[in-house]
Amino acid sequence: MKYQVLAGTLSKIEATSKRKEMTNYLVELFKAITPDHIRDVIGLIRGSPYPDYEDFQYGMAEKMVIKSIANATGLTTDQITEKMKEKGDLGKAAEEELATKKQTTLFTKPLDVKYVSETLDKIGRTSGKGSVDVKIKLLAGLLTNATPLEARYIIRTILGQMRLGMADMTIMDALAIAYTDNATNRPIIERAFNISSDLGLIAEKLVKEGIESVKDFKVTIRHPIRMMMAQRSGETEEIFEKLKGTFIAEFKYDGERLQIHKDGETILLFSRRLEEISEQYPDVCEMVRTQINAKKTIIEGEVVAYNIETGELRPFQELMHRRRKYGIKEAMKAIPVNLFLFDLLYLEDKDFTNKNYPLRRKALEKIVTETEQLRLAVQKEIITEDELEEFFELAVEKGCEGIMAKSIQDSIYQAGARGWLWIKYKRDYKSEIADTLDLVVIGAYMGYGARTGYYGSLLMACYDPIENQFKSVCRMGSGFTDEHLETLQKLLKPYQVSDKPPRVLINDSIITTVDAWFKPAIVLEVQAAELTLSPVHTCALDKIRKGSGLAMRFPRFTGRIRDDKTAEQATSQQEIIDLFKGQLKKIE
């Protein structure tokens, strides 16, 4: 298959924000490709030849890419840099330069999907001495044979800036329609994705062996399972009602979630974003190696910083310092950690995700040798309100955020879903209308006075998974210390883009007021006093009242950067609607 066909589809997808249209373009593309190409095509659409959990990087900075374009076009790097500034995007700049140059070149051969995919792979795999030159040459080679439109997407792929605004869900919809003629088969594909996180592999199986083989998809060690998430509640009655009168309450530890794959002596740790972060926690790997008595297992737990003298648990922020401030060896000493285990998803070739929680916990208990540093999450079966309150107070006293209430009946591990089988109940949810939300930075306003030169306030959004859009909820200007301003400036800069990103939905009246736009990526914890109806913000637009959305009043940055969350894991639109409704109930 020609890469040109794929580039054509990508440009059509980029030009629309309607999910249905994107799906149709993809269906058309999938119908036109041969089975041997599907994995490459999925990789090229998603921006990497490998699933997200493989830490694959192209390793080419903007400057190197500019050199490749210079090699391919004969222009100087200054000319290309100038063009990039004009266009606000290196992909578009290369497209235009190539369009001018192409009139004079005759000997190019059309690019094939497989060839592009393999060359990109080679670029990523080249490392060590002399690799900079090799990478530049490989990319220049591709660009020499590329059409202008192809160049746009090759460069954006290399720089990780695809800007398509398309979610995996849309790709799965299109796969179901193209290969089974039936959109209702999407959940089968989705389940396979949730337990393997490898869409390329699933698509290939679907094309070559049919939907039945996708139904049989199995949990596989070393392939991370997309994590189950919790709903939140501030009402104990609601917890009892949702969990049918009795449930298991567990301490909700304030640390980082880990999904641990033990395959013999090999230990892999995956973060909530499914990135492999084993190297950050050699101490955890060692504990698992010696204290988990199983050959092959997938378990989950929370790693928490603690004070070695008093044994007290430390808040999440301390754990993040481990990542930012130190080399790993020093970090292990300065910020020691505990691991609290709470789930088991796979054991010696058996999939446990469809088993009830009490069974999973029992299996977990059997394979753990507990010590001070590695323990099972503290839990208790709850029947009465008093028991719940008492357990909650105990959790807070022990340095936890609150509790997790977990269903006993029908309590499978819902991979990738935020359902009511797990409910988090935190101290903040108990206060009247104060709550913290995890919101995504989508824009910024430049600061004045002491904040000149910094982003003075930020435009924050929630995520709507149904529309796959980020919708504004508030403009946040308080809670920032000077250190925060510096850190945020550095953190946000790489995500700055020249135009409003396609998946961001905001009211026309504020588009022109925003000074900087960001690709949705950075999630911040925000404390708010109240939610109100708003004529400006697009969160929950028309959902509560026609023409109105929901806004957060008096938002304040808590100082907590949620770098353990992806933009899509931010507080959802539905959660905000639920909070607003809960708030109304309390006022009544």
Give the count of beta carbons closer than 10 Å to the beta carbon of residue 440.
30
Q: How far is the CB of 542 from ligand AMP (least distance, A)?
A: 27
Q: How far is the CB of 528 from ligand AMP (least distance, A)?
A: 16
33 binds ligand AMP (CB under 6 A): no
425 DSSP β-pair partners: 403
DSSP per residue, 89-130: -HHHHHHHHHHHHHTT-------BHHHHHHHHHHHHH--STT
Interactions with ligand AMP, residue window 296-315 (CB under 6 A): 302
Residue with tokens 């235009």: 96
Interactions with ligand AMP, residue window 394-423 (CB under 6 A): 404
How many whole angstroms separate alpha carbon 409 and alpha carbon 285?
33
Closest to ligand AMP by CB, 230 vs 577, is 230
Closest to ligand AMP by CB, 179 vs 251, is 251
String of contacts with ligand AMP for each residue 259-298, x by CB under 6 A: -------------x--------------------------
Measured at CB, which residue is nearest to ligand AMP?
Answer: 257
The residue within the footprint of ligand AMP, chosen from 33, 167, 229, 533 (CB under 6 A), is: 229
437 binds ligand AMP (CB under 6 A): no
240 binds ligand AMP (CB under 6 A): no
How many whole angstroms separate alpha carbon 151 and alpha carbon 144?
9
Given 92, 252, 426, 471, the catalytic residue: 252
567 binds ligand AMP (CB under 6 A): no
How many whole angstroms separate alpha carbon 480 and alpha carbon 492?
15
DSSP per residue, 272-284: TT--B-GGG-HHH
Give the CA dihedral 182, 186, 189, 194, nearest 10 degrees: 180
435 binds ligand AMP (CB under 6 A): no
Closest to ligand AMP by CB, 95 vs 250, is 250
3-state secondary structure of 448: coil
- Residue 281 in contact with residue 303, Cβ under 8 Å? yes
> Quick one: DSSP state of residue 327?
-
The residue within the footprint of ligand AMP, chosen from 95, 190, 238, 250 (CB under 6 A), is: 250
Interactions with ligand AMP, residue window 319-348 (CB under 6 A): 342
How many whole angstroms separate alpha carbon 167 and alpha carbon 19?
9
Interactions with ligand AMP, residue window 455-474 (CB under 6 A): none
Q: CB neighbours of 102 closer than 8 A, spacing ≥ 6?
A: 147, 148
458 DSSP β-pair partners: 444, 476
Interactions with ligand AMP, residue window 357-396 (CB under 6 A): 377
The residue within the footprint of ligand AMP, chosen from 102, 257, 427, 451 (CB under 6 A), is: 257
Active site (annotated) includes residue 252: yes
Q: How far is the CB of 229 from ligand AMP (least distance, A)?
A: 5
Helix axes 38-46 and 113-125, enclosed angle (nearest 10):
60
Residue with tokens 């192809």: 150
Residues contacting ligand AMP: total by CB under 6 A = 13
> Quick one: DSSP state of residue 337?
E
424 binds ligand AMP (CB under 6 A): yes
Q: Pick the stretch among 76-84, 137-145, 167-175, 252-260 that binds ligand AMP (CB under 6 A).
A: 252-260
Task: Tell me which residues are annotated as active site.
Answer: 252
Which residues contribute to the site for ligand AMP (CB under 6 A)? 229-230, 250-253, 257, 272, 302, 342, 377, 404, 424
